Amino acid sequence: MQKHLVFIKHRIYNQDGFLLPYVTFIITLLLLSVMSAITLYSNDQLITELQLEQVELETLHQIGYTDFSKNLVDYPITTQQQMMNYFYPNGKVLITYYQHNDNKIVITLKAITLKKNQKTRVYYLTLE
């Protein structure tokens, strides 16, 4: 038993530098994995924030289009561009519309969120 302790003591207190490269390699791997996990986490947070902003933009588009199409009979439709503004709690929708030919209306919706992100989409409505 005493002989085993001497062997372990010799391996631990050996000054030849046998253990240092292994410890350095393991610590480097641990630091690399922690740093990559932190980077992945921050990227996931950014992606989630942008996806929520995209949902807000799509919601603004749908609400603006629905409100505009409901009230379309109340608005004058000419060949010159007309503008409408709708304001909602999470942003605003700017609508530009004009009559393209006898039976088509071109509607351009520009949704702007409170964080100043925006999305523009063009719709072609057929009159009946």
- Per-domain residue ranges for the chain? 2-126
d(CA 17, CA 2): 25
pLDDT at position 13 is 60
CA 90 vs. chain centroid, Å, equals 16
pLDDT at position 39 is 97
> 3-state DSSP call for residue 84?
strand
Q: What is the mean pLDDT of each run of 10 residues along the chain (128 residues)?
A: 56 61 88 97 96 94 90 79 90 90 87 92 83
Structure tokens at 11: 């391996």
d(CA 84, CA 104): 18
Structure tokens at 113: 């969120």
pLDDT at position 102 is 78
- Quick one: DSSP state of residue 80? S
Adjacency order of strands within the sheet including 82-88: 82-88, 91-101, 104-113, 118-126
- Residue 93 amino acid letter: V
Please state the pTM of the whole predicted model: 0.71
pLDDT at position 71 is 83
pLDDT at position 7 is 55
pLDDT at position 31 is 97
Strand intervals (E) in 27-117? 82-88, 91-101, 104-113
